[in-house]
Amino acid sequence: MSQTYSEMLAKVQEFHDKHSFHEKTNKGHDMAYRILLTVEELGEFAECFTKGKPDSEKAEELADLLILIIGHAIAMKVDLETAFNQKMKKIMKRPAIMGDFGIRVTEYKND
């Protein structure tokens, strides 16, 4: 089943509403706290690789990150779909370079 971004956004909004993230006392829209949660989830995703966990656990941690990112957009009142499309147009024009650990698409120039 394929979902639109709008459908995913609505599900994350419903989750935020269910737990009243918007209320200041809950700090659910506090970006410093949200960034810490994101770092925590990113660590759990990385751990899946370092500990050789199955793909199903990797997918679950990746989903946690996606939910948090969509939640960041809600908390910041950002139109993430528009920002995504604008960024894709920009990065599609960038060249790829080979770094020490693999290919990168960046505006960075090696001196």
- The number of domains in the chain is 1
Looking up tokens 């770092």, which residue turns up?
A: 39
pLDDT at position 59 is 98
Taking only the tens place, the pLDDT of each residue in 26-57 is 999 999 999 999 999 999 999 999 999 999 99
pLDDT at position 110 is 66
What percentage of the chain reaches a pLDDT higher than 90?
A: 90
CATH number at residue 46: 1.10.287.1080
Let me know the angle formed at the C-alpha of 32 by 59 and 57, rounded to the nearest 5 degrees.
Answer: 10
3-state secondary structure 35-75: HHHHHHHHHHHHHHHHCCCCHHHHHHHHHHHHHHHHHHHHH
Dihedrals phi, psi of 20, to nearest 5 degrees: 50, 45
pLDDT at position 108 is 75
The pLDDT of 86-91, averaged and rounded, is 96
Taking only the tens place, the pLDDT of each residue in 64-86 is 999 999 999 999 999 999 999 99
Instruction: State the sign of the Cα–Cα–Cα–Cα dihedral 2, 67, 62, 80.
Output: positive
Spatial separation of the C-alpha atoms in residues 18 and 47, rounded to whole Å: 30
Q: Is residue 13 part of a domain?
A: yes
Rounded to two decimals, the pTM is 0.89
Residue 84 belongs to domain spanning: 5-105
Q: Is residue 81 part of a domain?
A: yes
